[in-house]
Amino acid sequence: MDKKKRHLTTTQMIIMSFFAMVFIGGVLLSLPFASASGRATSFIDALFTATTSVCVTGLVVVTTATHWSLFGKIIILILIQIGGLGVITITTTLMVAAGKKISLSSRILLGDAFNLETLKGLVRFLRRVFRGTFIVEGVGALCYVPVFVPEYGIIRGIWYSVFHAISAFCNAGIDIVGDSSFVPYVHNVWVNVVTMALIIFGGIGFVVWWDVLHVIREKLAGANRGMFNMLALHSKIALTMTVFLILSGTLLFALFEWSNPLTIGDFTPGQKLLAACFQSVTTRTAGIATISQKGLTVPSVITSMFLMFIGGSSVGTAGGVKVTTVAVVALSVAATVRGNNDVTCYGRRISNQIVRKSIAIIFISFLASMVAIICMCILESGESVDIIFEVYSALGTVGLSRDYTATIGLAGKIILCICMFLGRIGPITMVIAFTMQDTKTALRLPKGKITVG
């Protein structure tokens, strides 16, 4: 009973922390001096912007570059940073910086928020997350400087570099370039490479970072085993799935869009491959676009929705059901087809608890998407493909849109806000709900037969 109560409390606190940050952000953005015009923004639009920022999604009902004042953009950037790292993470770090002792309940809360199996070294892990985050974002900002400073001047160029480095790393997808995202830089190889690197680093997950760095140190110290073999199973699956999805997505987008004049049809072969690769990376929760999403062919739209649903890796800034979740379900299916009792990968057996948890996460996420799509179709007008694309973009905290977000009414904005909120905290709360230990009983119910398939 105590254990269930503890899990319920941590889940509620995580949800409440995100909700409180969204509400505070909405209030601040609704103030007159948060807009460039000096007029108050309607609270629903301000709340929508705060939600998309904290939930690191990127869907916007007003153009970020022109609607918000410098104050408004700074608030949005702060919300993105907090949302990317997590409210619980930020709060705990401030407590550590202030010299306060972290209580056991706070450690449990932070461990649940990061989906960690042990509380050992939690504070050290937290410090490494912050240090690594700011180093990567800092390097990313410096890499943007040679592009943005010559174009916008020193002060504005540095501001643009910092903003987009944080937005890309946190997989937020919010930009302040204009109303067409990064379309003006579709042929700029440097901007594309830097942005993709930030998106991948943020989405691969902090646990994978430290595992890879640990293996590199071991290898430099003289370890004889291969680097990939030395990685933990989670890192192997996360890296394998990430590379597979990026390459397969690039191939499919290039194939489907190669002759499409509305997207990449008029590009050179090299430019086509670059744009296809960027589309493959950004659909996995980043939301920054270099080509028109409205102009995509139907096969590309379906591919985009599939990638948006999967998302990135666990314990990172990405959304979606996560690549490891999909991998476990795929491995479970393969084991069933082959008649194997155990689900295995890279010489390791995956526990039935993890398999059941993965199936539950995918099923609940898919069910939530269906409910949201039906509600949007009933309450909002528009083409079905645009509505479905928008819902998966919101639930996957991606932020890509087929020019549909700005056309929706009050009901649609509320539904998408709920989708973005569920997309950000849903996987976390679902994992927490399914991490309770199995209760061992002396008596087990008799097996019942059922026919499936």
Cα-Cα-Cα-Cα dihedral sign, residues 164, 423, 280, 404? negative
Round to whole Å and give the CA distance between 430 and 143. 37
Per-residue pLDDT tens for 276-327? Answer: 999 999 998 888 999 999 999 999 999 999 999 999 888 777 888 899 999 9
8-state DSSP, 155? H
Position 7 scores a pLDDT of 45
Q: Is residue 49 within 8 Å of residue 60, measured between CB atoms?
A: yes
Position 130 scores a pLDDT of 82
Highest mean pLDDT out of 12-16, 114-118, 370-374: 370-374
pTM of the shown model: 0.88
Whether 3 shows a pLDDT value over 50: the answer reads no
Q: DSSP characters for 303-326?
A: HHHHHHHH-S-SSSS--SS-HHHH
Q: DSSP characters for 143-179?
A: HHHHHHHHHH-HHHHHHHHHHHHHHHHTT----SS-T
CA–centroid distance for 263 within its chain = 25
- CB within 8 Å of 407: residues ≥ 6 apart: 382
Q: How confident is the model at residue 8 (pLDDT cuts 50, 70, 90)?
A: very low
Per-residue pLDDT tens for 186-238? Answer: 999 999 999 999 999 998 988 888 889 889 988 888 778 888 889 989 999 99
Q: Is residue 61 within 8 Å of residue 406, measured between CB atoms?
A: yes
**214 closest CA partner among 108, 121, 96:** 121
* % of the chain residues with pLDDT over 70: 83
Other beta carbons less than 10 A from residue 385's beta carbon: 15
